[in-house]
Structure 1
């Protein structure tokens, strides 16, 4: 279950043997609850599954949850490295927990107040030591920008900012981007924003997030998947998340887009949906903005991935009227979604209409039975039973099955009774096994006239 302390290697060489400088990915959240830790953990697991040597660092120093997400109990943390000037391989080995998945975990301190011991200098030393021994280093910076987290974002090859498609989170993302720019940590165009819990029906779509923040939004949008995530989160077994999970497939697809993996994502090679029709990790045809710190790119590159302005006025569009207008201009994708949703509720709508129509037929049958009996009684009172039958039957449409009883009366009142069968939806096709009865009477005129049948 991943419990216990990592056993240091006493022989056979250093398990963290030095290698080339690893790629550093910093994952920060626009605000709490947007899925920052889930994103960081799954990116690390994807890179590890692809055969990379991966370190996952919890730099959410006061409320880090990576240990809980991966079912780890380990007394060492990044705070234990705070007072060490020279982080040797043995020192690093004692602080890093080797998880059953093969990930090297450097956890946040269990006591939140110890997070203050981790300065930007400590963060730079730790990150440098990890990058020299791991191919990929993923840092969960949390949502509170500490000096250590700021150092991680500044040093990162790729800085991810996770947000959800709602007004509060997008505004928080914009504030974070502006904070990084003011502190000269990172420019907006060097930041990749990941939209989590994305739905096609949401009013705020990735394009609008890109305009609002001035960042590049990842092609891979992570779908909402509370039900599939909850069991893995509650059990602390994020590594056991079903390979068919839409969230896992999207996050592993994001890992491919970031260049952390080369293999196909889980679930039979099926890749997550990317805007623009490109598969994740498509052969290096896209240079991520974070890598501009290492590689110069040509001006006027892919306009779909370049800077789209500073986004100063874009948040004015994150309101229902203007957002809906913006979305209507995006094309027919949402219209297709509306069509699918309409087809989903169509059977229920038809059932409701059928029930209403049946109730109308029942009411109409009651009206027919009463009117028919009344006309039959009047005719029978004047001319007898034959006239009663003819008059009552004439007032009933041919699609209704009628039983007419012109029994006459006691010499004073002539009575007629009409029983009609209630049709099922379509008169004449089938009837219910119960009937509607209408009864009427009229002053008997046959005896006064001295005749009658």
Structure 2
């Protein structure tokens, strides 16, 4: 894999020094060299396969940081590296704020040059793939997506979790989706996706009057699943910059470019969230099955009505943490709140969400009940692409062919009634052949049962591995370095024979500057004496206490 590099060098001596070093690199090729900032700016837009732009700090006549800022804004997929005579803290900070991917000293070694260019080029190609899949440059004219807001009746009801999982489902269904974190003071979507991105919604405020596709490309984070994310500011106090007017313009720009805009409004109302609720096609209020949450929802909906933000009949509620053991069931909550309540409640499965939330990997949510609930909710809210009706037979063809009105079988009138009396010779012959056929099928049924039992053992092993990793991670946060204590706590969540010494393996691993507890358990085999070929591995992030 060869990376393409453009160089902006103010002198022939510097150009010769850099090109000579690149000639010794087998994975990078210098495709263009320029002496002025204007030449660099004109060329970067013409080279389709360009990965990295190296610019010396003395390049002119345009100030070099302004040049870096222009390239980062107009070509966000390009990685810009600033070459400096001496690396200083202020220079590094200013370059990062302008959009550079890094600094490189002019007299850097070939190894340093190779490492920096390779890292920047890989970042550039990854972002380019995401932007190509993003389809951000769709025509604005004639496009009007839907906005769905999610607001919590109180904190901790699961607003962010619900919004992000529904957004992922819609994106996998083929919708072009943007998830907006409008919980401006306490929003933490980066924690749920384990992502880092320097841009947020406040970067669009100053340009809210004319938001271009390039600005959105630079501001939005594109998740590998195809989901686009507009983050809340890292500094909560900057959320005050997002006024009602800015919120209207930003959401309008997103609506014109996306099929679906899902807004996490948190549980605190401000100008921006009030405007989002007012603009939304569907406003969902999330409530827990307890009176404080239900009263909170009543107050919120009443306040929206008094402020003429949204009429109560246009508000939809969603019941969270549902269980048959709850004192308050969906029917009672629906009567208490009035209006429309989604038919599908979200089940109370706190532990099932734990691993996905702690590791920043939403795809680690594997609980079938939760996944089914989120899938049904996405359908109720119209987030999924509805397939076009078949162009073949008419809708009533099944009835014409003898099916009942529910499509479950033939109409009763078309079923012949068997004659009473002794069975015929033909019938007795058929029953004899059925016995022979059944005897031939029995071995296959036994094999199928063994396979089902083995699959069940694999599922149980995966569950034990996940529980053990979580328990080990909690103990590792308390007693870091004490592997024996970590293993002892982890095995408490595992039963025999899964906890045997030759079956259970635990290790603490480092990756990306963070520590994880990794548990691997060998799946027991259905056939005795046969070694299992399946080892199930699960990891849990160690979150240090304090």
TM-score tier, shorter chain, comes to 0.5 to 0.7
Contact 1:46 1:252 (8 Å CA) reproduced: yes
Distance 2:128 2:259 in 1: 20
Q: 2:349 matched to 1:225?
A: yes
- Alignment check: 8 A CA contact 2:174 2:385 kept: no
TM-score by length of 1: 0.55
**Which is higher, the Rg of structure 1 or of structure 2?**
1
Contact 1:127-1:152 at 8 Å conserved across structures: yes
Aligned to 1:342: none
- From 164, 178, 185, the counterpart of 1:41: 164
SS in 1 for 2:294: helix
Task: Give secondary structure in 2 for the equivalent of 1:44.
Answer: helix
Confirm whether residue 131 of structure 1 aligns to residue 255 of structure 2.
yes
Give the 5 Å matches for 1:40-119.
40-84=163-207, 85-119=209-243
SS at match of 2:127: coil
Which consecutive aligned stretches of 4+ in structure 1 deviate over 6 angstroms post-superposition?
3-6, 8-14
CA positional deviation for 1:13: 11
RMSD value over aligned CA atoms? 2.3
Matched, 1:17 2:137: yes
Corresponding position of 1:394: none
Relative to 1, partners in 2 of residues 1:13 and 1:35: Cα closer, same or farther, differing over 3 Å? closer
Distance 1:223 1:82, change over 3 A: same
In 2, Cα distance between equivalents of 1:160 and 1:241 = 23
Q: Runs of 5+ in structure 2 lacking a partner?
A: 1-121, 388-546
Give the drift of 1:137: 0.6
Asked if residue 240 in structure 1 is aligned to residue 364 in structure 2, the reply is yes
Q: Residues 16 and 262 from structure 1, CA distance in 2 versus in 1: closer, same or farther, beyond 3 angstroms?
A: closer
Indicate the SS of the match to 1:7.
Answer: helix
Give the match for residue 320 of structure 2: 196
| Structure 1 position 133, deviation (Å) | 0.9
- How far did residue 40 of structure 1 move? 0.4
Q: How does 1:201-280 map to 2 (within 5 A)?
A: 201-242=325-366, 244-262=367-385
Runs of 5+ consecutive residues of structure 1 not aligned to the other structure: 265-453
Indicate if the aligned counterparts of 2:130 and 2:226 stay in contact, CA closer than 8 A.
Answer: no
Change beyond 3 A, Cα 1:201–1:4:
farther
Alignment correspondent of 2:290: 166
Q: Residue in 1 aligned with 2:281?
A: 157
* More helix per residue: 2
1:181 alignment partner, one of 302, 305, 317: 305
Q: Is the 8 A contact 1:30 1:176 kept in 2?
A: yes
TM-score (norm 2): 0.46
Q: CA deviation at 1:172?
A: 0.6
Distance 1:73 1:209, change over 3 A: same
2:148–2:282 contact (8 Å) kept in structure 1: yes
